[in-house]
Structure 1
C-alpha cells in the first residue's frame, strides 16, 4: 500500500484497456526479435512508437519509467518461461511490471527488455476453498470490483492503482491487516515461472523454502503470474478522508495518539502531514476506515469533531473506500518514497513530523514541488502474529513496529537526485530524533521493502533471513537470471 494522501488531486479509477494497431518498429532489437519468433499467439512484442509500447512502460511514478528496447506483453506462463530462457542465455537486462506503481527506478523498468504482465488478468473465486485466483497483471481496484458482487474480499491495497504483484511480493499492508495480517500472510499458493522456464505451483506443501522466499522476497526467484489468496466475507464499510487546516494540526495529532488505544481490529487509520506549496501551508488529513457499515461510537469521534476544510466520509463499498483517497497510482507524476520506522506514535513524534513537513516543504517549494507528505500508519500490535509460517518479510514478528511513509512528488527531472538525497537525510534525521525521544530499539525494526528508497541495504529489510534467502536464490536461480532485473537482490 502506498499511503501518500495528495490533497486536491483528482481521483480516477479508470482501468480501461488501451486498444491500438501495431505500429512498425523503428529498430528491431535482435533479442526482441528472438522473443517475437518463439512466443505463442497469446503474447505480442511492441516497439517504440506504438501506443501499446507506451502503455507497457508506463509508471504512475514517471520518475521510475525507462525507455526499453521493446515491450513483451506475455499472455501465458509458458511464454514467460520461453522469454526468461532467452534473456538468461543472452544476459539481457530486463524488467517485469505488474501494476506499475513502483517508485524506485529500475525496479520494474529497464533500458533492456520490458515484460508486461498486463494479460494475466484472471480473477476466479472458489467458494468451496474460500480462495481467489488473481492474475499478476491486475491492480487491486480490478480485484475489488470483481469480488464485490460476490460479497467477499481479500487482503490488498488501500488506495487506487496499486498493483497486485508488487504489493503482495513485498509484504502488503491492508485495511484488513488488523484482522488477517499482511498480504503475504494470506497467500495460499503462487504460480511461478522459474528462471529456467519451468512453471510450478508453489505452496507450503510443495516447496516450503521457496514459499517462504516468495512471501516478501519480491522478484528474486522467478516471475509470479498468479496468486491464490484467502477470501473473507465483505459487507459495506464506513470511512473516507477528512482534510484539516494547519492551525488544528495539534488536535489531529492528539486524536491520532489517542487512536492507539482502539483495540477493535475492524478499525484503521492513516494520518498525514502534507505541505502544499501553492498555499505554503501544511494540510493534515485523516483517512479513516471501519470494516462494517457503521463504526461503534467513540472510535472516530475526535477526528469528526475537529474543524475541517473538506470531508468525504460515508458508508460505502470497499472499492469506493479505496478510491476515496486522493492518492491515484494511475495518474503520472514524479514520486519518491522512503520508509520511516516507528515503535509508537506520541505527540512529540507528531511534532517532529509536522516540523519536518514544513522544513522540507519550504526547502523544495521552488524545485517543482507538488507535495511533501509524512504519513502515520497505525496498526494493532498483533498484526505480525497472524502467521505461524516464516516469511521473507518481515524477518522478525516479535517487534510491533509501524510502517510510516515519507512521500515526495515533483515535476522536473532536474531535481531527481536532489529529492533522493533529501528524503534519505530526512529519514535519518527523524530516526535519530525518535531514538532521542526514547525509542532505543528503533534500530531493530525491519524496513518495509515496498516503501524503502533505492540504496537501502538488504540487511535493513531482511535481517537474519538473508543467509536463507541467498541459499534459496542459488538453488532456484544458479545462473542469476533474475539478477538481470532490478529490485532488491540477494
Structure 2
C-alpha cells in the first residue's frame, strides 16, 4: 500500500507548489463540473482521503494525478460531466475498481470520474435479475446476494471492479455453466458520449454487441442488469500454496484435468510463479458443498501444500479468500495469449518462463513473475453476439509481472511480449494455437489493438458503431484500446 500512496502524495504536494501553473482550462472545467452535479469534486491540493483512494490502482504504474476527481452520484451527474468534457475537449478517465494495468486506461491528468458512489445491488422481486452499479467490486456483489439462493457470473478474485471486468468479457468460476459475464447481461444503463441517458439491451443489437468486450469506447456505463443463476448455500474451494518441488506434479494434474474433466461445476486456476516468490498456487472451485471427483488428479501431487484454505463455505466467503492484492502496490502489467487446449509440453514451457525471467528479476528491479493457467470446458456454447469473440472456447493464459523502478517499465513490458511470442511458437508446435484465438482485452497490453483483440470482422464492426454513436470522438479523450 505504501508503494501506491507515496507517488500520489508526492504528486499532490508538487501540485500544491505548482498550482499557479495549472492550465486555466483544467481548473475552469473542474469548477464548471462542481457547479453542475450532485456529487463531489476533489482537488489534489486538498490531500483528501477521497482523492487518494479514488485514484489508487492495483498497480501503482496505472495511477496518475488528475486535475480533479469527480465522484458522480447518478447517471445525471455522468451526463453533465460527459457533456462538459466533450465540449471543452478535456482528457478524462473512468474508474470502477482500478485493476486495469495499462497506464492511462483508467487514469488521467485531466478529469477523473470515480463511480464509487454508484454502488447499488438491487435484486428483482422474482430474483431473476440484479442491477449492479459499477462502483462495486465483485466481493460487494457476492456479499449483498449471500443467502438469496441466486448469484451472478462475476469475477474470481478480490479487487476487480464490476465495470471494466464485465465490459471486457469476464471469466468467472461459473463460466463453464453459463458463459462469460457479458453473456449474462440483460441490459446496460449507458450515458452516451453526447450526454443522453439510455438503456441498451438486445433490441439495440449494435451497441449491445459493442459493450460486450468493447470496454469504454461507447459512453459510460453506470449500471448493468445481469441475469441471475441458482446458487447453493455452500461451495467447495480455496487456495493451496506449493513450493517449486510440487510444480511437475501440478503440471501433470492440470493437463489431466483439462483433458478428462466433464463436470462444468469444477474449475481450477494454476498459478506458476517466479522471481521473489517462486512456487505455485492452485485455486480450486466447485459449485457444490463437497469435493468432486474432478479434482482427483490433484491427489497425485506428492508434495504437500505449504498452506491450504480449501473447505466448504458460502460463495461470498470463498470469494474473499482468493486475494489478488498480495502483490498490489508495485508497478506492473498483465499480458495474455490464447490456446485451444493444454499440453504437458506447453505447461512446462510456461513454467520455464517463470524460472528464466525470475532469475533476471533482481537484476532489473523485478518482483513477481506470474503465469495463470486457466482450464475451461466448452463455455463457448453460451456465447452471445459479443465484441470479444469466444464461441470457440479459447483458454486464456494471464501473465502478471511486477517491478519497482519506473525506469524499468519499458524493459519489463518488452520482456512480457517476448515471453508471449515464445509461448505462441510453443503452442503452434503443440497444435494448440490458432490465428482466430484473439487476445482477451482484460489481460492484454496496451500495444494491442483492433484485430489482435477482436478479429478483423469484429474490429471493423466496432469502428462503425463507434463512428455512429461518438462522431465527435468524445470517448477518445479517455484512455483505452483502439479498434
Q: TM-score, normalised by structure 1?
A: 0.90
Point out which structure has higher relative CO (alpha carbons under 8 A, 6+ apart).
Answer: 1
Residue 104 (structure 1) aligns with: 102
Residue 119 (structure 1) aligns with: 117
Matched, 1:285 2:278: no
* Cα distance between partner residues in 1 of 2:235 and 2:225: 24
Map Cα deviations across residues 287-312 of structure 1 (whole Å, 9 max, x no partner).
1110000133x321332442222211
Matched, 1:299 2:294: yes
Residue 10 (structure 2) aligns with: none
Matched, 1:275 2:274: yes
Task: Go from structure 1 to structure 2 and tell me whether the alpha carbon gap of 1:472 and 1:329 turns closer, same or farther (over 3 Å shift).
Answer: farther
Bigger Cα displacement from structure 2, 196-205 vs 332-341? 332-341
CA contact (8 A) 2:151 2:228 kept: yes
Residue 88 (structure 2) aligns with: 90
Matched, 1:442 2:434: yes
Residue 191 (structure 1) aligns with: 189
CA contact (8 A) 1:73 1:118 kept: yes
Residue 483 (structure 1) aligns with: 476
Matched, 1:416 2:409: yes
More helix by share: 2
RMSD value over aligned CA atoms? 1.9
Residue 358 (structure 1) aligns with: 355
Residue 321 (structure 2) aligns with: 324
* Cα distance between partner residues in 2 of 1:138 and 1:129: 19
Q: 1:216 aligns with which of 210, 213, 217?
A: 213
Residue 237 (structure 1) aligns with: 235
* Cα distance between partner residues in 2 of 1:178 and 1:312: 23
* Cα distance between partner residues in 2 of 1:276 and 1:359: 9
CA contact (8 A) 2:235 2:287 kept: yes
Residue 370 (structure 2) aligns with: 373
Residue 263 (structure 2) aligns with: 264
Q: 1:36 aligns with which of 21, 34, 37?
A: 34
Residue 449 (structure 2) aligns with: 457
Bigger Cα displacement from structure 2, 64-73 vs 328-337? 328-337
SS of 1:196's partner is coil
* Cα distance between partner residues in 1 of 2:450 and 2:146: 38
CA contact (8 A) 1:159 1:328 kept: no
CA contact (8 A) 2:253 2:300 kept: no
* Cα distance between partner residues in 1 of 2:196 and 2:306: 55
Q: 1:128 aligns with which of 123, 126, 129?
A: 126
CA contact (8 A) 2:257 2:297 kept: no
- Deviation (angstroms), 1:247: 1.9
SS of 1:433's partner is helix
Residue 335 (structure 1) aligns with: 332
Matched, 1:182 2:175: no
* Cα distance between partner residues in 2 of 1:129 and 1:220: 31
* Cα distance between partner residues in 1 of 2:224 and 2:286: 26
Equivalent runs, 1:395-414 vs 2, <5 Å? 397=391, 399-414=392-407
In the TM superposition, structure 1's runs of 4+ consecutive aligned residues that sit over 4 Å from their partners are 24-28
SS of 2:146's partner is helix
SS of 1:300's partner is helix
Residue 7 (structure 2) aligns with: none
CA contact (8 A) 1:286 1:303 kept: no
Q: 1:392 aligns with which of 358, 377, 387?
A: 387
Bigger Cα displacement from structure 2, 103-112 vs 410-419? 410-419
SS of 2:316's partner is helix
SS of 1:403's partner is strand
Residue 59 (structure 2) aligns with: 61
- Deviation (angstroms), 1:365: 2.2
Unaligned regions of 5+ residues in structure 2, if any?
A: 2-15, 21-25
CA contact (8 A) 1:162 1:329 kept: no
Task: Go from structure 1 to structure 2 and tell me whether the alpha carbon gap of 1:204 and 1:129 turns closer, same or farther (over 3 Å shift).
Answer: farther
